[in-house]
Amino acid sequence: MCKHILNAQASIRAPCCKRWFDCAECHAEVSDHPLARMTEMAFLCKKCRKAFRKDMGQYEDSDEYCPHCDNHYVIEAKTANAMLTVESEDVRVDNRAIKDDRVKEGKIDTSELDDWLTQLDGAPGPAPEDAQ
């Protein structure tokens, strides 16, 4: 699995060392030599797991698909981006990361709500029906 291109659809065979890599950056990380450039490249489709060759000198739009399963392997790469995350212990053990300390249990100030309800009780409204 490639950490550089998250949606890689095909692996490439490096002609210099005869090994399979998900991308050229993966080859550069583990090899002490640059990736050799050839006119014919060998690919391995990750969908059907079959290998095929493409002539890079005569590459056309139709060559962007696997000849065995028609998987579109030349797509816009999704690369890994750094994300801000919250690091905490297991919330089942220590839930301070998700607990809201702004309102203490049992100590909610309801004075504004009480004033508002008092105003509603004294406000003119529909006349109560007489129960007979």
- Of 2-6, 31-35, 77-81, 84-88, the range with the lowest mean pLDDT is 84-88
- CA 25, 73, 79 angle in degrees (round to 5)? 40
**Which helix (DSSP H) or strand (DSSP E) does residue 79 occupy?**
none
32 has a pLDDT exceeding 80: yes
- Of 4-8, 32-36, 101-105, the range with the lowest mean pLDDT is 101-105
Torsion sign over Cα 16, 30, 35, 7? positive
Cα(64)–Cα(60) distance, rounded to whole angstroms? 7
State the virtual CA torsion across 113, 115, 117, 123 in degrees, nearest 10. -150
Cα(67)–Cα(88) distance, rounded to whole angstroms? 48
Residue-wise pLDDT for 45-59, tens only, equals 888 999 998 887 887
Whole-model pTM? 0.51
| pLDDT given for residue 99 in this prediction | 59
Domain boundaries, the chain: 1-92
